[in-house]
């Protein structure tokens, strides 16, 4: 059972997004190292694979949490920049010089 209730749902993606983003995401070594740190902190690491799947399920959920939080932060930053530029003030501009 899917923890996000997405069973039997479909989506349409362009070929490049489908292949590169969904099937072959590019993770840098430092990304994997940092994720491994989170896995250990959250208690999802294991030396030997067991028949129980709760740790791998925890790693999958954690990976989605990382993506979700990263998207939230970046969208929030983009919204602040947009608001600042709409208000006539450009991001990073020194207001004391106006």
List the chain domain ranges.
28-87
Residues 44 and 55: beta-carbon distance below 8 Å: yes
pLDDT-based confidence at residue 90 (cuts at 50, 70, 90): low
User: Residue 38 is encoded by which pair of tokens?
Assistant: 């989170």
Residues 51 and 40: beta-carbon distance below 8 Å: no
**Tokens 């959250």 belong to residue:** 42
Question: Quick one: average pLDDT of 43-53?
Answer: 86
pLDDT score of 59 more than 70: yes
- Measured between alpha carbons, how far is 54 from 13 in angstroms, rounded to an integer? 30
pLDDT score of 26 more than 90: no
pLDDT score of 89 more than 60: no
Contacts 24+ apart (CB under 8 A), 47-53: none
Question: Quick one: average pLDDT of 48-62?
Answer: 89
Question: Quick one: average pLDDT of 61-82?
Answer: 94
Q: For the chain, what is the mean pLDDT?
A: 85
What three-state secondary structure class fits 42? helix
């Amino acid at each position: 059972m899917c923890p996000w209730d997405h069973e039997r749902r479909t989506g349409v993606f362009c070929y490049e997004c489908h292949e590169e983003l969904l099937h072959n995401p590019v993770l840098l070594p430092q990304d994997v190292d940092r994720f491994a740190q989170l896995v250990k902190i959250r208690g999802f690491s294991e030396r030997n694979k067991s028949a129980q799947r709760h740790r791998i399920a925890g790693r999958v959920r954690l990976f989605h949490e990382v993506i979700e939080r990263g998207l939230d932060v970046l969208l929030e930053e983009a919204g602040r920049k947009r608001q600042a530029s709409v208000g006539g003030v450009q991001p990073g501009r020194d207001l004391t010089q106006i």
